[in-house]
Every structure is written in C-alpha cells, then in structure tokens.
Chain A
Amino acid sequence: MFNKNASVGKDGIETVIGPSVKIEGNFVCQGGIVIEGEVKGIIKTAGFLEVGEAASVIADVGAKEAKIGGEVRGNIKIEGYMEVTSSARLFGDIEAAFVSIARGAVVKGKCSILGSETKTSKSNGKQKEEVNQDSHE
C-alpha cells in the first residue's frame, strides 16, 4: 500500500473506509484517510486522518493531522494539529503538537501536547519533551 508517488484525490484523500466496510491489518499510506466504518490493526499516514462519528477504530494511529469524531481504542500520535469533536470517544494515549477537545468528548488516557517543539526537537534530533500532561474523562 505504501507508495511515495501516490495519487490522491482533489481533496487530498487517498483512502475512504465507508460505513459498511470493516478492515483488519496494517494500513500504511501517504494520502489522507477517511474512516466511517470499522478498523482493527495499525493505521499510519503521512497525510490527514478523519474518523467519522459512526466509525470504530481499534488501532494505534499515526498521522500528520487528524479530526476525530468517532471511537478510537489505541494510541494516537499526530505530528501537527488534532481536533477532537464532541462525539469522539478516545481510549488510549494521545501525542500531538496541538490539540483541541470539544465539550462532550470522552478522552481516557495520557494526553501529551508538545506544541511547536515537535518540529524543533525533530530537526535537532533531541528527545521530545512532554510539555503538557492531562487526562479528561
């Protein structure tokens, strides 16, 4: 599935997992992913990840940016901005440069918000420093 020359749609989306579809396995791609169905395994993308309200994800997740509105059971690591909407239910650790959590969202796990230091620490090769630790329920 991994291809650096991946062609993506006009809106940057490469993969869509629809509501009637269930996938299991390691899923790695370069373009954006939209999940509206069920996923079990590992998800990694160099692009955008969107988890819809009705989606159910049991997987460790890695993406550049994310908008989460459904249920995710697993650790989430986002390079940039992560938006958690009010319908989201997250069970696992979160690590992201920037996070916004809407009122009503359920977040159970360690939340590390690294700010702009993510990029700095990457370029200097230094270990990331945990700036903020929080947990919501």
Chain B
Amino acid sequence: MNNIYVYDQELSGRRYQKLLEQLETRLTDLGIGGKIYRLGPMTRLEDMAREELARHPKTLVAVGGDILISRLAGLMTGSKIPLGVIPIGKSMVADAFGISLESACRTLAARRIIDLDVGRIDNQQSFVCRAVIEANNPILVLDNDLNVSATGKVIIEVVNVMGDEYGYRGAQPKADDGRLNVYILKTETGLLKRDISQSAFVCRKLLIKSGLTKIEVDGGIPLAGAKEIEVVPKIFSAIVGKDRKF
C-alpha cells in the first residue's frame, strides 16, 4: 500500500520548486512519502485516478487548489480510500477541513479519517464545498415539496461545507449531516447604501425549475447547466485536521 501524491498542473512552474522539495522532504521524514503524479496538459486525471484506485493505495493526496481537490473527491466517491489534501494557495476545502499548508504533512501523518457527503449535480458533477448559481427570478423546489421563488437577480449558493468565510444567518453547513444548505442572496440598492438580503434553507435535494444563468462549483469549475442538485451522504473518506469547521 502506497501513498499517491497528485500535483496540480500549476505547480510545474519554477516558483513552486523549492516549496515542493521542502514538502517532499517533510513527507519522507514523517514516513509517508509516496508516488508522485505531476499533472500536465496531456495527462487525464480521470484515467490516472481510476488506475491508481484499482491498486488500492493507502491515500490519494491532492496537492494544489480547490479545483483539483474537488475533481479528485468526485472520482473517489464510493471508494474507501481516503483523500488527503495539501493546499497550495487559497483553498476553501482545506480551510473547511482544518488544513493549512503548514499543518498538512502533520495532518496526513495523523490520519484522522471521516466519511463526508458530497453535493452532486444532475448525477454527474460532484462538489465538496459549494455550487454558486447566478439566477434571474429563479424557481426552486426543495425536497420535492417546497416551492421557493425569488424576484430579480440573485446568487444562490448550495453549500456542503464552508470554511472561515461562513458568515450567513441560518444553519451552519456540515459536511457529514446528509444535507445541503441553500443560501439565496440578493443585493438591494438604496440611495445611500447597499444591503444584501439573505434567505437560508436546508434540504437534501434541490430542483432548479427556471431562472439559472450561470453555475460553477468549488471555486471555478464551470458547468453548462444544472437541473437537480442533491446530497450524497457519506460517500467519500477524507483526512481532516483537528481544527475542521464542522
């Protein structure tokens, strides 16, 4: 059983070379070194992950940002192999998991593993943290039962887990509660000030009946559209820090 480290394509630049060398030394010192995959323009993450997961590695570690973490998490759903995270740059997922660049190696060595939910869009694209939807006069149905409509241009955030930036009214998102938090945000402009009015719901399934104009997940993966977003409870395992936000 081996650890697999998947390096984000962006890390191939020279400016990360020293940092990566330091990381590798630290991982070796902790006895958790492993095989390294450097993603390039010609590498398909899906093929690599499928191949490696079939060999049952001890851990698959995403080294990079949220897009890589989210894509790997989506590919690892259903397997019992835990996802590890070494965040390079700002990462919502790592933040929610209580992992910083400084603490990442120690966290990986400690192997605090928990089962987590993911959000899934149209039974295809998964997300760990959130989907952000821009919409105009949207009509939503929550849990097949509750019709929710909003007037005007709004941002809808469908959140599985959130890091430090969580500051909304309503239930706090938890990645292991089998539910998604839905926030509808609207900017109200007055003569002198701008207010953001906010609505908050929790649900297992969200149907977008109309009004969607744009959607992206986990900080940057754009999607062509979305009709149904649902939570898939405790479908993947991850190594989290002791300061996780849920």
Contacts and interface: CB of A to CB of B under 8 A. Distances in A.
B142 interface: yes
Interface residues of A, number: 30
Interface in A6-62: 6-11, 13-27, 29, 31, 34, 36-37, 41
A1 interface: yes
B170 A24 contact: no
A5 interface: yes
A136 to B, nearest CB: 32
Interface in B140-165: 142-143, 145-152, 154
B150 A20 contact: yes
Nearest to B169: A16
A31 B171 contact: yes
Interface centre among B149, B168, B186, B202 (most CB of A within 10 A): B202
Given A8-B172, A18-B184, 13 more contacts: A1-B145, A1-B146, A6-B171, A6-B177, A9-B170, A9-B172, A13-B171, A13-B200, A16-B200, A17-B199, A20-B150, A22-B150, A23-B149
Contacts of B200: 13-16
A23 B198 contact: no
B37 to A, nearest CB: 36
Contact of A20 (B152, B179, B203): B152
A3 interface: yes
